[in-house]
Amino acid sequence: KQEVTQIPAALSVPEGENLVLNCSFTDSAIYNLQWFRQDPGKGLTSLLLIQSSQREQTSGRLNASLDKSSGRSTLYIAASQPGDSATYLCAVTMDSNYQLIWGAGTKLIIKP
């Protein structure tokens, strides 16, 4: 059974710092991996999607990497801003049924 783990559960850093969020998964039979952002009481916004054949994807200050064989992904946020404060969720799409299996998220606080 696929398990997705995110470390750390919470992170608080000063504005301007570069930071890395980690995601690991136990079953490498994935179709793709997505990083989402969740703001309190709001929906889930897809940030980056990495296909299983890809190594990384970039969007603005965000860069996500995928090492499928080791079951790991990282989300790198450059030059963090207070507006980046949110919970970041990692989810893998299973090859077998295209269901998304989610991590518990990393709650990120960027201090001004």
Partner 1 sequence: EPEVTQTPSHQVTQMGQEVILRCVPISNHLYFYWYRQILGQKVEFLVSFYNNEISEKSEIFDDQFSVERPDGSNFTLKIRSTKLEDSAMYFCASSVPVGEKLFFGSGTQLSVL
Question: How many of the other CB atoms lie within 10 Å of CB of 41?
Answer: 5
Question: How many of the other CB atoms lie within 10 Å of CB of 102?
Answer: 16
Strand, helix or coil at 18? Answer: coil
Q: Which of 43, 60, 83, 112 binds partner 1 (CB under 8 A)?
A: 43
Residue 19 in the binding site for partner 1 (CB under 8 A):
no
Cα separation, 95 vs 30, in Å, equals 5
Residue 104 in the binding site for partner 1 (CB under 8 A):
yes
- Contact by Cβ (8 Å): 106, 87: yes
Q: Would you say 45 or 70 has its CB closer to partner 1?
A: 45
Q: Which of 19, 49, 54, 63 binds partner 1 (CB under 8 A)?
A: 49
Kindly compute the dihedral angle of the four CA atoms of residues 40, 41, 47, 50, in this order, to the nearest 10 degrees: 110
Q: Which of 14, 53, 97, 112 binds partner 1 (CB under 8 A)?
A: 97
Residue 26 in the binding site for partner 1 (CB under 8 A):
no
Q: Would you say 13 or 62 has its CB closer to partner 1?
A: 62
Residue 14 in the binding site for partner 1 (CB under 8 A):
no
Residue 62 in the binding site for partner 1 (CB under 8 A):
no
